[in-house]
Amino acid sequence: MASQTVPHIDWTVGTLRDAVMAFEVTLGRVPRESMAVTPVVENWDKVQLWLAAIRALLERPDAARAMDQVPPFPLSGQQLRALQASVDRIAQAQAAASATLVGTTSDHLHTGLAKALLSSYLLAGIFFLSLIATAFNLFLFRGAQQQIYVGANRVLGVVGAGSWIRHHADLLTHRARLREAHPLAG
């Protein structure tokens, strides 16, 4: 088998940090214990060692000048794809087995939207009660300073109510789109 030559990469601190973050997010989806039962656990360990070396390099005060000391990535493209596939399979299996994810994604979207709409109605109730309290204060307490305070409070209440109307209209639009894309089951 012919040996593969790894092309030289001209790293910058920013691109190296981005690569580290991408690997941390991807590999962080599953714990090592879950990878231990797979044939790619050695590749997992190699990437973790590479990441540790890169983190140490990035912590150095002269990191920008030390980019020529970045060790080569320890996996071939095929090995990296196999590792990614294993991580994806394990993450999907763990998500499917999770007690917090009961039902379909569509059901979760509908449940989440229902909760957002409920919070929107509660917010509207609070604004309405605030405006009523402001009106009572305006009529019960007469005086120049209190009228300014009540007027400012009323303006803020109207701005808040306007924001709620916009927010609620957007939620209703999202609900219509969601029901069109994912009709409610049963």
The pLDDT of residue 145:
65
73 falls within a domain: yes
Say if pTM beats, i.e. exceeds, 0.75: no
89 and 36 housed in the same domain: yes
Among 97, 129, 160, the domain boundary falls at: 97
Q: What is the mean pLDDT of the chain?
A: 78
> Cα separations (Å) of 81 from 21, 76, 118, 142?
18, 9, 43, 74
Residue 26 and residue 20: Cα distance in Å, rounded? 10
27 falls within a domain: yes
Range name among 3-7, 27-31, 90-94, 181-185 with the lowest pLDDT average: 3-7
Spatial contact of 81 and 20, defined as CB atoms under 8 Å apart? no
92 and 120 housed in the same domain: no
58 and 133 housed in the same domain: no
2 falls within a domain: no
Among 81, 97, 113, the domain boundary falls at: 97
Domain limits at 137? Answer: 105-181
Q: Using 50, 70 and 90 to split pLDDT, how confident is the model at 144?
A: low
19 and 76 housed in the same domain: yes
76-93 pLDDT tens trace: 889 989 888 888 888 888
The pLDDT of residue 2:
46
The pLDDT of residue 52:
92
